[in-house]
Amino acid sequence: MKRVVITGAGTINALGHSVADTMTAMAEGRCGIGPLVFRDVERLSIQIGGQVRGFEADGRYNRQQMSLYDRFTQFTLAAAAEAIAQSGITFSGELAAKSGVVLGTAGGGVSTWDDNYRSVYEDGKNRVHPFVVPKLMNNAAASHVSMEYNLKGPSFTVSTACASSNHAMAQAFQMVRTGMAPAMVTGGSESMLCFGGVKAWEGLRVMSKDACRPFSANRNGMVQGEGAGIFVFEEYEHARARGAEILCEVAGFAMSSDATDIVMPSKNGAARAIAGALSDAQLNPEDVGYINAHGTGTAANDKTECAAVADVFGPHADKLMISSTKSMHGHLIGGTGAVELLACIMALRDGVIAPTIGYEEADPECALDVVPNEARDAKVNVVLSNAFAFGGMNAVLALRKV
Amino acid sequence: MSVTDKIFEIIAEQAVLETSDVTMESTLEDLGIDSLGLVESIFAIEEEFDITVPFNANEPTNSDLDISSVSKIIEGVERLLKEQAG
């Protein structure tokens, strides 16, 4: 088994257009959630979200590219450029032939679906742009990354709702660990903040109209976000040989399926994924200093997640820190685990634990150290990143300081 | 058909029961309607009466509609119908 390290990170989300800006915002406990701005927003009952602002696709991409890049692809390419530049890796020859890209997304080109349905149903048009299909398909972002960076190895897109990115990164990790690929580009993206994308979520009645307050007794639901997080996962010796800066090590992962309910989470399924990640990474519960929670801010998720953590960690659950950065950037659905991995890297590399902001009232069912409202300086050696999706599909990653 | 009859029908359908099995005093729990069933029932009520029912599944007891029994639901819907008329 090979060791796997992260040598590049890139992002765009409501907190910033780069990793540095995002981490600064997380360390300051800044909130990126605000009023949504797009066509027909006044017809929604939910009008807030973690929308990416000031991202001008025109100018960044040319006319031909714009006709092929949905917003989720635009985000992916912007984040991939940052990650691959930081890594300093160039894919050519044997390295290019073996390395690939595995990304997560739940919805793919949602705004492309939305715009074109509007055009044919509402505006009564009978013709759509020839590239609607290659623009909206879930693997479009991964395909464009492969073309841009000459990645010719195993490449595909994973879609497991809110766990998509963690499942994708788990696959990339496994490929590097087994020696199948020397390096993999991985992460995920989502862009559902358009009329149809928010309207669909609204129907489920689980969204908050005012704020995302994970673990707080007065929490009243989730808030959607958008953006991307992209990473370079690389075999340790390969990274060392080329003198790459190592951000942290990916130590293990586990996946589980609740096999119970299409929307209600299960403590048992979550606990099995958490315990599985520890066991895969050959870690003891006491090694874990921080958990980046799934922490959606819904009544059901937060209490189930805390109960699962308490089950797995026993008395150590009261000593570790657990926070949800969704309070700041919103829930990026299929892209969320990727952006949240940045909080894990910040904890391991910089010793800064991102807070759970919007925390107002203690909930006896979430009685853990949720790092309320203010970031904390703390030295941690091992962290976990949780993702528990609708459909009961869970993926937890374990990361370690190098 | 009265508001009461329509609500009995909606709830009975959701619970997979006959309308005769639903009483004014029944709670959704008695009838075996879970949180997903509740969200679907509210959607059906909104569609049937063309009203908006403010309801957040994260705080079901803190919503504008009292859902503690069938009779309370009927009262609430009648109130919303008056408030949202015209």
Going along chain A from its start, the domains and CATH numbers come out as 4-241 (3.40.47.10), 252-400 (3.40.47.10)
A-chain residues within 8 Å CB-CB of B36? 262-264
Instruction: Tell me the two tokens of residue B31.
Output: 């009838």
Q: In this structure, what CATH number is given to the domain that contains residue B33? A: 1.10.1200.10
For residue A219, what is the nearest residue in chain B, using CA coordinates? Answer: B58
Question: Residues of chain B with pLDDT > 90: what percent?
Answer: 81
pLDDT(A299) > 90 = yes
Q: What is the pTM of this model?
A: 0.95
Q: Determine whether the interchain pair A263/B36 forms a contact, defined as Cβ–Cβ distance below 8 Å.
A: yes
For residue B35, what is the nearest residue in chain A, using CA coordinates? Answer: A264
Q: How far is B13 from chain A (nearest CA, A)?
A: 19
Q: Determine whether the interchain pair B52/A45 forms a contact, defined as Cβ–Cβ distance below 8 Å.
A: yes
B-chain residues within 8 Å CB-CB of A264? 35-36
Facing A219 at nearest CB: one of B35, B52, B58: B58
The per-residue pLDDT for range A345-380, each reduced to its tens digit, is: 999 999 999 999 999 999 999 999 999 999 999 999
Contact of A312 with A85, CB cutoff 8 Å: no
CA angle, A60 as apex, A55 and A62 as ends, to 5°? Answer: 135
For residue A212, what is the nearest residue in chain B, using CA coordinates? Answer: B58
Q: Is A113 left (phi over 0), alpha (psi -120 to 50) or beta?
A: alpha
Residue with tokens 């990164």: A169
pLDDT(A24) > 70 = yes
Q: Determine whether the interchain pair A299/B57 forms a contact, defined as Cβ–Cβ distance below 8 Å.
A: yes
Active-site residue, A306 included: no
The per-residue pLDDT for range A84-137, each reduced to its tens digit, is: 999 999 999 999 999 999 999 999 999 999 999 999 999 999 999 999 999 999
Residues in chain A: 402
B-chain residues within 8 Å CB-CB of A220? 56, 58-59
Instruction: Tell me the two tokens of residue B74.
Output: 């009927």
Counting Cα atoms < 13 Å in the Cβ hemisphere of A221 gives 22
Beta strands A227-235; A183-190: pairing state: antiparallel
Please state the rounded mean pLDDT for residues A367-394: 98
pLDDT(A57) > 90 = no
pLDDT(B43) > 80 = yes
Q: How many domains does one find in chain B?
A: 1
Facing B58 at nearest CB: one of A45, A262, A299: A299
Beta strands A393-400; A382-389: pairing state: antiparallel
CA angle, A325 as apex, A253 and A38 as ends, to 5°? Answer: 115
Q: Determine whether the interchain pair A206/B35 forms a contact, defined as Cβ–Cβ distance below 8 Å.
A: no
ipTM of predicted assembly, 2 dp: 0.85
- Residue A265: phi and psi, rounded to 5, are -75, 160
What is the predicted pLDDT for the residue at B86?
Answer: 66
Active-site residue, A31 included: no
Facing B58 at nearest CB: one of A203, A206, A263: A206
Which amino acid is it at A210? D
| 3-state DSSP percent of chain A in helix, strand and coil, to 5 | 40, 20, 40
Please state the rounded mean pLDDT for residues A247-275: 97
Interface test with B, best of A44, A45, A48, A205 (most B CBs within 10 A): A205
Residue B26 belongs to domain spanning: 3-83
- E strand or H helix at A227: strand A227-235
From residue B11, alpha-carbon distances to A81, B5, B71 in Å are: 54, 10, 12
Among A31, A162, A248, A344, the active-site one is A162
CA distance A291 to A380: 10
CA distance A395 to A170: 8
The whole-chain average pLDDT of chain A stands at 97
Q: Could you give the dihedral angle defined by the CA atoms of residues A301, A307, A308 and A313, in that order, rounded to the nearest 10 degrees? A: 140
Please state the rounded mean pLDDT for residues A27-50: 98
For residue B56, what is the nearest residue in chain A, using CA coordinates? Answer: A205
What is the predicted pLDDT for the residue at B62?
Answer: 78
Active-site residue, A129 included: no
Q: Determine whether the interchain pair A208/B56 forms a contact, defined as Cβ–Cβ distance below 8 Å.
A: yes
From residue A68, alpha-carbon distances to A38, A61, A116, A129, A137 in Å are: 21, 10, 14, 10, 10
Q: Determine whether the interchain pair A299/B42 forms a contact, defined as Cβ–Cβ distance below 8 Å.
A: no
Please state the rounded mean pLDDT for residues A132-152: 98
B-chain residues within 8 Å CB-CB of A206? 56-58
Please state the rounded mean pLDDT for residues A271-289: 98
Please state the rounded mean pLDDT for residues A256-282: 97
Q: Determine whether the interchain pair B36/A299 forms a contact, defined as Cβ–Cβ distance below 8 Å.
A: no
What is the predicted pLDDT for the residue at A89?
Answer: 98
